[in-house]
A and B are shown apart, each in its own frame.
Chain A
Amino acid sequence: MQKAMQTGLIVAIILAILTIVEYVFAVNFDHDTIRFIGLSFAAFGKAALIVYYFMHVYRLWRVEEAH
């Protein structure tokens, strides 16, 4: 329980930091293409974190006991 919660919270903190970085970067940076690419990378990174750690995509191919 504690370990699972810990992982989740660490991921959440990374997501929060990424969101803030995204925001600060976008508001203060003035090159359209680079900003677009940077934001896309951040978005895909965040999505991957959520899909893996929050949505547990690996459970699709991992055999486990029913719950």
Chain B
Amino acid sequence: MAVVAPTETYHAVHDHLKLNRAGLWLFFFSECVLFGLLLSARFFLEGIERGELDQLLGLGITIILLLSSVTAFTAETAIEHDNRKLANWGLIATIALGVLFTGGVAYEWSIAHFHRNEAFGTLFFTMTGIHASHVVSGIGILVLVWVQFLRGRYSSKDHWPLAGAVMYWHFVDVVWVFFYPALYLVK
């Protein structure tokens, strides 16, 4: 079996960055429908009723996720200006805050006052669970990117994987921007 490099053709001139970025946005559109449907299901089944939740914990993990977005932004801005040191710390902080957020959600689950076989419990566990699974996959992607980064890849000229991972991270944050009030604050 012959092993060959992919052939270069005239379309090598295509701006792949543009394609990748637009593709990632389309993926986000699709995900928006997923999360939008979960939100709709939440209001369809329960109206604005909600179970008993630890408000301070909710606020805490929300702020952690927001902070992680700031550190992710820092990492991207830093690599755009070839500041590798800051980018490194930005990535590490983002991953750490992501893990902390996941831990917060897990703790929230363990102390929940409702069970998953009642309507609010079903919605709460499903929505936070699917969101957390996105956080975890985001952490996974960031770790892969970080390893590449440590090997000396990425520069201001070429850092799409890092930028894409950070965009994904921000998207997960946007989802939580809607989920947090819908689960904790509406009533």
Residues of A that sit less than 8 Å from B by CB:
1, 4-5, 8-9, 12, 15-16, 19, 22-23, 26-27, 32, 35-36, 39-40, 42-43, 46-47, 50-51, 54-57, 59-60, 66-67
Number of contacting residues on B, CB 8 A? Answer: 39
The answer to whether B77 touches A1, judged by C-beta atoms less than 8 angstroms apart, is yes
Docked CA distance A46–B63 (Å):
13
Alpha-carbon distance between A7 and B167 when the two chains are bound, in angstroms: 17
CB atoms of B181 and A42 under 8 A apart: yes
A47 to chain B, nearest CB (A): 5
Q: Considering the chains assembled together, what is the distance between the CA atoms of A38 and B117 in angstroms?
A: 31
Contact present for A16 and B156 (CB under 8 Å): no
CB of B53, distance to nearest CB on chain A (Å)? 12
Main secondary structure of the interface of B (DSSP, over half): helix
User: Is the Cβ of A47 less than 8 Å from the Cβ of B174?
Assistant: yes
Are B178 and A43 interface neighbours, CB within 8 A? Answer: yes
Q: Which residues of A contact B187 (CB under 8 A)?
A: 32
A27 near B55 (CB under 8 angstroms)? yes
A19 touches B66 (CB 8 A): yes
Q: Tell me if A39 and B69 are in contact (CB < 8 A).
A: no
Say how far B67's CB is from chain A's closest CB, in angstroms. Answer: 8
Known contacts A8-B70, A12-B66, A23-B59; is A39 also within 8 Å of B21 by CB? no
A50–B22 CB distance below 8 A: no
Q: Do B74 and A5 have beta carbons less than 8 Å apart?
A: yes
Chain A, Cβ-Cβ closest to B83: A1
Compute how far the CA of A40 lies from the CA of B62 in the bound complex, rounded to whole angstroms: 16
Determine whether the beta carbon of B171 is less than 8 Å from that of A55.
yes
**B108 near A: Cβ within 8 Å?**
no
Closest to A55 in B: B170
Contacts of A43 in B (CB 8 A): 177-178, 181
Contact of A39 among B17, B157, B181 (CB under 8 A): B181
- Is the Cβ of A55 less than 8 Å from the Cβ of B59? no
